[in-house]
Structure 1
Amino acid sequence: MPELRTERLLLRRWRESDLEPWAAMNADPAVREHLGPVLTREQSNASVARFEAAFEARGFGWWAVETAATGEFLGFTGLDPVDDGLPFAGVEIGWRLARTAWGHGYATEAARAALAFGFETLGLAEILAVTTAANHRSQAVMRRLGMATDPADDFDDPDAPPGPLRRGVLYRISRASWTGSPAPGR
C-alpha cells in the first residue's frame, strides 16, 4: 500500500499509536463542528478499523497524516467512494486535522498529494469534495486545490438531521483541469 510524501508531510497507513490522538481529535467539539456529535473512543477505534479494511479491499482510502520532521500525528487525508444515498456518485477527497494543525497549510498540502494519487495512480477522471454549507475552512481548501462548485449541485444530506449539518455543497475537479502543481505552503 502506497505512502505519499510531500515537503512536510507523510500520508501513511494507520498505526496503533495513532488511536489515542485520533480519539482525542474526535472528542474535540471544534473538530467535529461540521461532522456531527463527538465520538467515543470505541467509535474512533472502529473508524480506523474501517479505514484499514478499505485499504485492504481497494488499495486506497483515508491515510493517517504526520509531520515528516517529527512524526507528529495530525489527522487524516484521503480518497473514498461517495456514500450511498447522496445525489451524486464518484470518489471524494477529504481531510480532518487536529485543531493544533489548523492554519499551517497541511490540509491543502496533503490533499494535493491525494489528488495526484487519484489522478496519476488510480486514473480517476474526476474527484469530488463534500462538506456542509457552513464549513468555510474546508471550502477554502477546496478552492485552493482548484476545485469548483455549482450551486445547482448543493444538496440536503439524507443522513444528517435537520439543522446546520444537513445542507451540503459539492466541489469537483477533473483530471483535465488539475494542474498537478506542487503545493504551496498554504
Structure 2
Amino acid sequence: MPLEIRTLRLLLRRWRESDLAPFAAMGQDPEVMRYFPALLARTESDALAARADRLFDTHGYGLWALEKRSTGDFLGFTGLAPVPAFLPGPGGIEVGWRLSRASWGQGYATEAARAALDFAFGRLELEQVHAITAVINEPSRAVMERLGMTATAEFQHPKIPVGSPLRVHIRYSISRAAAAQASAAADLTG
C-alpha cells in the first residue's frame, strides 16, 4: 500500500508515470532551477524521480510527489532523504522540496514540509532533521525559517565549482522539540 500524507490542501504520495512530464518541465524552467547548477534533461529528470520514489522502498521515507487535492495537479515534490555523504557536517536526514513556478507563493512548500517533518519526528522518531540550500536561495531559506529551523553552518558545496554563486551552502536544523513548538505556534496563527 503506498504511503500517503494528506494536509488541508495537499496530498504527498508516491510517484506516478503521469508526474514525469510535468516534473521534466520543472527541470527545464530556468526560474525553478535558478538555485541549482544546471537545467535537467528529460532522462536526468526521470532518473531523479525514480531515485526519489525508490527511497520509500529502501528507507521507508522519501521525496513524495506533491499533488493539489482540489485539482489533482502535480506541484513538485517534498519529503525526506539522507543527507549526501559527500557534504560536510553530521549527516542525518534532510527535508527538501522543489515546486513548480505556478505553485509558488501559496504556502504549499511550508505546508508540505511541515507534514514531512511531522512524519520524521512522529513515525520515524528522529531527533533532528536538516535542510540544505545555497546561501543565496532566499525563498527556500524563508521556508526553513517559517518551519522553525535554525541556521547552523555554512560550507563550500564540494560538487559546485569554485567561483559559482551557488557554491556557498547553508545547513539549517530543527530538533523534535523545536518542531513541536513551531508546529503549535503555526496552529495558533494559521
TM-score computed with the length of structure 2 as normaliser: 0.93
Sequence identity of aligned pairs in percent?
51
Counterpart in the other structure of 2:184:
181
The 8 Å contact of residues 76 and 97 in structure 2, kept in 1 or not, is answered as yes
Distance 1:181 1:128 in 2: 20
Tell me the CA shift for residue 51 of structure 1: 1.4
| Secondary structure class of the residue paired with 1:173 | strand
Amino acid at match of 2:41: T
Counterpart in the other structure of 1:160:
160
Amino acid at match of 2:160: A
The 8 Å contact of residues 130 and 170 in structure 1, kept in 2 or not, is answered as yes
The 8 Å contact of residues 112 and 182 in structure 1, kept in 2 or not, is answered as no
The 8 Å contact of residues 66 and 77 in structure 2, kept in 1 or not, is answered as yes
Point out the more displaced range, 122-131 or 173-182. Answer: 173-182
Tell me the CA shift for residue 182 of structure 1: 8.2
Counterpart in the other structure of 1:26:
27
The answer for unaligned runs of 5 or more in structure 2 is none
Distance 1:87 1:143 in 2: 21
> Which aligned segments of 4 or more residues in structure 1 are displaced greater than 4 angstroms?
182-186
Amino acid at match of 1:130: I
TM-score computed with the length of structure 1 as normaliser: 0.95
The answer for unaligned runs of 5 or more in structure 1 is none
Amino acid at match of 2:140: S
Task: Give per-residue Cα distances to partners, 1:121-160, cap 9 Å, x unaligned.
Answer: 000000000000100000000000000113xx10001011
Amino acid at match of 1:138: S
Q: Number of matched residues?
A: 184
